[in-house]
Amino acid sequence: MIKESKIIFFLLIAIAGTLFGQYQAAAFIMSIGYIVNLIVNSKYHIAFREFTLVMYSLNYLFSPSILYNYNDADFLSYKMNCPIDLYFINAFIGVLSLHIGMFFFKTEIFKTNFKLLKAQAILNGKVLKNWVIGGLILHFIFMKVPLPTEISFFVLLLSALRYVGFFGLIVINSKKNMLLIAIVAFYEFYVAISGGFFHDLLIWMCFFGLFLSFYLQITLRKKILFGILFVFIAFIVQNVKGDYREKIWLEDKQSSTTLFTDVVANKTSNTKDLYSKENILSTLIRINQGWIAASTIDFTKKYNNYAGTDVLVLYMESALLPRFLAPNKLNSGDKVIFNKYSGHTIADGTSMALGIISDGYVAFGTFGVGIFCFGLGLIFCLVFRIVGNWSKTSPFFIFLLFPILYYAVRPDCELQTTLGQLVKGTFAFFLVVRYYKNYFRVKIKSINQTLIVDEKLVLEPQKRVLV
């Protein structure tokens, strides 16, 4: 399916930029191309792959293409500490390799048959409601009840069933199920406000947008307007979350919607500072995983600090082995690898990840970048294939892609966290699919038999008249 992925266009831009030394221009054009590709293709299918490529291109291409111009600015804390040609060659290879890997095998999973989905939703409305309620309960338990790490992780994973039910209830009848839909929406907002963490809320808003864009066939104008609105919301959240966390974490104020809106109002009242070039660029650095990649590439090359397969082995151990078999395996948010290879040391309470391009370069240099990113793309393809088989039981199961690949679409997550989510998420939801497999088959068979009987009852009187 590489032909359909339009890889040739992006490849030519990268080659032209490299040959003519116009790295920043090429990176900027590629990023805009990926955004346009997302907007256009969201009409024809659930544009999950396109969205993922936008996330990686924003972090590794778009932001660096701008921030390299301000490397000497005092107001920027994080610099692009790498020769521009060395950085962008690796960034081009990384993003393009991920692109090729994700589209390497053909899949029809994103071209959902919503007529079949709606039919099954009507038949299994009770199941979907149970998933919503059960998911909410599980997530509340995850937040409030102290559990062992491994159990807690699976509870969090299974709580994502609320999203599957949420999407399904919208397909059935959004007006009829408005109460449950509203409860889920308000709960997600409550979780973000109560803890001061907004990443989950923003990412799930994106997933919801991908779903609605295809399901409702939203027009191009509305998609652009909603996109601009989302960027504005994300910009405001990024600017106020630091002040809000300070109040609820350090000043011990009670988290609430009122407090959050007060912080927003206070921050947005000073429009001169909010929309200043310095603040916009400082905000842009937040979607710039490239500064970590630049620093890691420069540090690794300068000190010949290549790790070979050592780091990959640690990641695989963390993802595949339970803690009782590998008690010293990496934890989520572990700083050891970052501090060793990035050229920076982060303090306690700060969470940063090398990212896939940095991991690849640390292993085998530029060749490693291509291998790691292509490999990650193939893992995406494998998950598409697995979930595609699940969707034969019920098309609702395609929505399990979102929680399974939640960390994989985020360039700022550690590879061990991404792989752990993939392995454990696939296993956990496999059990769910197995549990409901017979249920769905029996239910559908029963409905089909009912339809056949009804059809006979309609035809019998006609036969009598003919006789």
pLDDT, tens only, 304-319? 889 888 888 888 888 7
Mean pLDDT of 330-357: 79
Identify the CA nearest to 261 among candidates 288, 240, 291, 284. Answer: 240
Query: What is the C-alpha to C-alpha distance for residues 431 and 352, in angstroms, rounded to an integer?
Result: 32
For helices 178-195 and 257-268, what crossing angle results, to 10°?
70
Report whether pLDDT(410) > 80: yes
**CB 66: neighbour CB atoms within 10 A?**
17
3-state secondary structure of 252: coil
Q: Report the candidate in 352, 435, 367, 362 with the shortest Cα–Cα distance to residue 134.
A: 435
Answer yes or no: is pLDDT of 4 > 60.
no
Instruction: List, as own/partner pairs, every contact residues 307-313 make where C-beta atoms lie below 8 angstroms and the sequence separation is at least 24, other chains included.
Output: 307/341, 307/362, 307/363, 308/363, 308/364, 309/363, 311/337, 311/341, 311/359, 311/362, 311/363, 312/359, 312/363
In Å, what is the CA distance from 413 to each residue of 56, 213, 258, 288, 369? 12, 26, 31, 13, 16
Instruction: State CA 9 to chain mean position distance.
Output: 25
How high is the pLDDT of residue 454? 47
Q: Which pLDDT band holds residue 463 (cuts at 50, 70, 90)?
A: very low
Distance of alpha carbon 103 from the chain centroid: 17
Q: Can you give the pTM of this predicted structure?
A: 0.90
Q: What is each CA distance from 281 to 28, 69, 76, 229, in whole angstroms?
A: 15, 11, 8, 19
- Both tokens assigned to 315: 């990641």
Percent of the chain with pLDDT over 90: 42
Instruction: Give the span between the Cα atoms of 28 and 34, in whole angstroms.
Output: 10
DSSP code per residue over 85-150: HHHHHHHHHHHHHHHHHHTSS---TTS--HHHHHHHHHHTHHHHHHHHHHHHHHHHHHHHS---HH
Residue 79's pLDDT band (boundaries 50, 70, 90)?
A: confident
Mean pLDDT across 14-28: 90
Give residue-wise pLDDT tens across range 93-141.
999 999 999 999 888 888 876 666 666 666 677 788 899 999 999 999 9
Average pLDDT score over residue span 382-408: 89
Q: How far apart are CA 212 and CA 201, in angstroms?
A: 16
- Whose structure tokens read 């948010």? 333
What confidence score (pLDDT) does residue 139 get?
93
Q: What is the pLDDT of residues 31-78, one digit of tens each?
A: 999 999 999 999 999 999 999 999 999 999 999 999 999 988 887 878
- Which of 111-125, 357-371, 425-439 has the highest mean predicted lDDT (pLDDT)? 357-371
Nearest to 390 by CA among 430, 423, 424: 430
Instruction: Categorize the per-residue pLDDT at 322 as very low, low, confident or very high, splitting at 50, 70 and 90.
Output: confident
Instruction: Give me the mean pLDDT over the 424-437 stretch.
Output: 88
Look at residue 123 in the predicted model and tell me its pLDDT: 63
